[in-house]
Structure 1
Amino acid sequence: MSFSRKALTATLSVALLTTAACSLPRSGPKKDEILSASALAESKAFVVPMSDSVVAATSVASQTGFSAAFRNAGLMGSDTISPGDTLNLAIWENVDDGLLAQQGLGSTQLAGLQVDGTGQIFVPYAGRIQAAGNSPDELRRIITEKLATQTPDPQVSVTRVAGDGATVSIMGAIGGQGVYPLERPTRTLATMLAKAGGVSAKPEVTKITVKRGKNTGSIWLRDLYANPQLDIALRPGDVILIEEDRRAFISLGALGQQARVPFQVPEMSALDAVASVGGLQSGLADPTGIFVFRDESAPVAGQILGRADLVGDQRMIYVLDLTAPEGIFLAREFDIRDGDTVYVTEAPYVQWHKTLSALTGSVSTANSLGSIVN
């Protein structure tokens, strides 16, 4: 009976040890598994150690900014008349019985004249007059010349009220979305944003896009404040969109957080990405096994791999070693892109620790079962 108990204990111990060794929990593949898998002939991924040349090849120029057409556009005259504007006219005639004034009245008020789609207005006895593109003073002179041939020494006053034509549309993360007239205080991008209540998103990750006809330009809000040249002059019909950065990367493995992580700055490095999720897990992470998984364009992948036969996006795995002398610098200079996956492997001793823990627990379990049999 004693022999049977020993035999049972030994059998249970072997079974539990075998099971524990084969099913240890972990957050993902080990470093050597990734490296060995990529070396297989059927592998469709390329593993590339990080270097200065890789950093240079993968760096992408900023896609934000305004073209010369936006930057070189001068300030629009604050009183320039546009189609859709509303005008108020007052006409004085130097006679008792004038063309427009009623008997005994010295002036005639023509209020609420709408500038039509062709930019014209109609004034009695003066006919259709081109108003768009002129200032109120220029339009006053034109109307005066037209009426002077029919009534002696007419005096004309023109007042512009910003209407549907001289406006811009603002939408997105702004204090007050809507349609705003272009007036003297709001002729530039920054002043118009202030007029609309200011940006309501996080300033450090807010992008501003201006659409003007077929042209579109985008900048970061922080750059608008830092560079006065980006405070472009607005034009009637401009559409301004304010939105928070939607880019994100995935963090996995022995990091402080495993999640989809939004970008916290316009340009995020690998070091920024690691820091943004709480850094490497102390006691778990392998600082030589930091991987960045990415679908890289064929031209960039070809430049890195020295190949000209690649077609389509390539699966690239970039390896960072923070223990190398230049590792921190490379991590600080390597740009993370939207959709990247940052994965940190566990240190080799962690698996040993888990194995020993599993073995100790397995033997204890076997002993307990043996005691039950006893």
Structure 2
Amino acid sequence: MVCRIVQPIPRTKERRVTRTAVRAARALTLVALVAALAACGLPRSGPHKRELLAASTRGEGAVIAVTDRVIRATTTVPGLGFSSAFRDAGVVGSDDINPGDVLGLTIWENVDDGLLAQQGTSATQLTEMQVDGAGYIFVPYAGRIRAAGNSPEGLRRIITEKLAAQPPDPQVSVTRLAGDGSTVSIMGTIGAQGVYPIERPTRTLSGILAKAGGITIAPELVRVTVKRAGRAETIWLRDLYENPAMDVALRPGDVILLEQDTRAFTALGATGAQARVPFTAPTLSALEAIATVGGLQSNLADPKGVFVLRNEPAPVARAVLGRADLASDQRIAYVLDLTQPNGLFMARDFMIRDGDTLYVTEAPYVQWSKTLAALTGSLGTASSIDSLAAK
């Protein structure tokens, strides 16, 4: 009987086989990771520039490069201001009493026991005397007196003559208080909301605003609306002080509303901040909007892919697209290329509107960087597995 001695496999060769198997497993893992990345995509803040351009070719909105012609066609932000009907209205006589006015009377009598004054006093206060619809008031011992059409001074003389036959040499004072006559109502971001009479210092818009304590927020953000006879017109408060023609005369029954500007745009993508951003001035350019949100992220943004997304009204869309058949609003994405010599000037002159979306795409290399980072992390994981297996 012949016996054969079987030699054992050397330990070094066994280890070599094990390492080969681990490397094969690692390669398969990397292939699986790459496949997963390709299938699922990498994280990003939104579509790439090429995807927006592709959507335009499919008819899903239009992508328009900003040019001087586009800037002229889209600069349609209406300027605020009063019409000639408001500007040409003459100043109301501040001394004229009207039906609905509320008057205050003070009567002094030069006798110890007067007809009107209480015992021990020489003056009588008659407050909250409202002029009726026919224009009259009633004064004790003077009777029914027509007040409408008279000035406070003229009414004072009439009442003095009427009372002269009763107490000798009476002294009368007439003042006009807030009421339903020659008054205006002020609401909003003002120091003291309320109803104010139209008096000599407050016959114009600026005068009544000063009387009410002035505004309580930054003047650049305040819109002033005057409602009169079913019509409402609005100006910027800044224009009121810069243009004397906008300091219109008031009319009885005017309602003045001061409110903060509520316009805003939305910033998305590779910008310094992604948020809904309120306007900081009556007009805002694309360049100012970019600066407002902290500029472009230098490590992410594609300066060739700065988009302004907007629902453009039909008249403007017809001018921009050169089409006469458009009857409804159109979705238009305006694109700015900040790498061009004239790109910054275009961004400076292109105006942002209320409701616009400022979207900055990521640079093409960013996705490669993310892919490499993902693969590098995978390689590190595989190396760790390899190290563990070698022990």
Alignment TM class, shorter chain as reference: 0.7 to 0.9
Paired position in structure 2 for 1:36 = 54
- The residue aligned with 2:261 is 245
Counterpart of 1:71 in structure 2 is: 87
Between the aligned partners of 1:241 and 1:368, the Cα distance in structure 2 is 69
Deviation, structure 1 residue 123: 6.2
Secondary structure at the aligned position of 1:353 is classed as helix
- Superposition deviation, residue 89 in structure 1: 8.0
Within 5 A, what are the aligned runs for 1:167-206? 167-206=183-222
> Partner of 2:179 in structure 1?
164
* Greater RCO (Cα-Cα under 8 Å, separation 6 or more): 1
Q: Judging changes above 3 Å, is the alpha-carbon distance between structure 1 residues 20 and 363 closer, same or farther for their aligned structure 2 residues? A: farther
Q: Distance in 1 between matches of 2:60 and 2:48?
A: 18
How big is each residue's C-alpha offset from its partner over 1:80-116, in whole Å with a ceiling of 9 and x where there is no partner? 1122221538699xxxxxxx99xxxxx9989444201
Q: Give 5+ residue unaligned stretches, structure 1.
A: 93-99, 102-106
5 Å-filtered alignment, 1:28-177, equals 28-40=46-58, 43-82=59-98, 83-86=100-103, 88=105, 111-112=126-127, 113-122=129-138, 130-139=146-155, 159-165=174-180, 166-177=182-193
In 1, distance between residues paired with 2:382 and 2:217? 59
How many residue pairs get aligned? The number is 359
SS of equivalent to 1:79: coil
Q: Say if 2:183 and 2:197, in contact at 8 Å, map to a contact too.
A: yes
What residue in structure 2 maps to residue 4 of structure 1?
A: 21
Partners of 1:157 and 1:73 in 2: how far apart?
Answer: 34
Cα distance change on mapping 1:348 and 1:108 into 2, 3 Å? closer
Residue type at the aligned position of 1:315 = R
Q: Which residue in the other structure is 1:353 paired with?
A: 369
- Structure 2 gaps of 5+ residues are 1-16, 110-114, 117-121
State the percentage of identical aligned residues: 58
* 2:280 pairs with 1:275: no
Pick one of 212, 229, 234 that aligns with 1:218.
234
User: Secondary structure of 2:299's match?
Assistant: coil
How far 1:147 moved relative to its partner? 10
Structure showing greater radius of gyration is: 2
Secondary structure of the residue aligned to 1:286 is: strand
Judge conservation of contact 1:172–1:241 (CA < 8 Å) in 2: yes
Q: Report the Cα offset of residue 280 of structure 1.
A: 0.8
In structure 2, the partner of 1:96 is none
Partner SS, residue 291 of structure 1: strand
Report the CA distance shift for 1:336/1:90 in structure 2 as closer, same or farther (over 3 A).
Answer: same
Letter in 2 for 1:173: T
Which whole-Å CA distance do the structure 1 matches of 2:188 and 2:158 have between them? 42
TM-score by structure 1 length? 0.85
State the distance in 1 between where 2:24 and 2:283 align.
Answer: 64
* Maintained 8 Å contact 1:255/1:285: yes
In the alignment, is the contact (CA less than 8 A) between 1:189 and 1:234 conserved in 2? Answer: yes
Query: Match for 2:305 among 282, 285, 289?
Result: 289
Normalising by structure 2, what TM-score? 0.82
Contact 1:87 1:111 in 2 (8 A): yes
Contact 1:170 1:239 in 2 (8 A): yes
Q: Deviations over 1:324-362 (max 9, x none)?
A: 222112111111111110000111122222222222222
Corresponding residue number in structure 2 for 1:104: none
What is the letter of the counterpart of residue 287 of structure 1?
A: P
Residue 125 to residue 6, structure 1, CA distance change in 2 (3 Å): closer
Equivalence for 1:24: 42
How far 1:217 moved relative to its partner? 1.6
The CA distance in 1 between the partners of 2:131 and 2:297, in whole Å, is 67
Moved more, 61-70 or 197-206: 61-70
Aligned to 2:330: 314
Structure 2 counterpart of 1:201, one-letter code: I
Task: State the superposition RMSD in angstroms.
Answer: 3.0
Aligned to 2:382, what secondary structure does the other structure show?
A: helix
- Asked if the contact 2:156–2:174 (Cα under 8 Å) also holds between the matched residues in 1, the reply is no
Counterparts of 1:201 and 1:108, CA distance in 2: 44
1:176-235 CA-partner distances (Å, limit 9, x unpaired):
222222222222222222222221122111111111121212111111221122122222
Q: Give the conservation status (yes or no) of the 8 Å contact 1:143–1:156.
A: no
Task: Indicate how the Cα distance of structure 1 residues 61 and 343 shifts in structure 2: closer, same or farther if over 3 A, else same.
Answer: closer
User: Take 2:232 and 2:257, find their aligned partners in 1: how far apart are those partners?
Assistant: 11
What is the deviation of 1:143?
7.4
Q: More deviation in 212-221 or 119-128?
A: 119-128
1: CA distance between counterparts of 2:265 and 2:44? 21
Secondary structure in structure 2 of the residue aligned to 1:363: helix
Q: 1:194 to 1:227 in 2, by over 3 A?
A: same
Shift of 1:255: 0.5
Distance, in Å, in 2 between the alignment partners of 1:6 and 1:158 is 107
Amino acid at match of 2:222: T
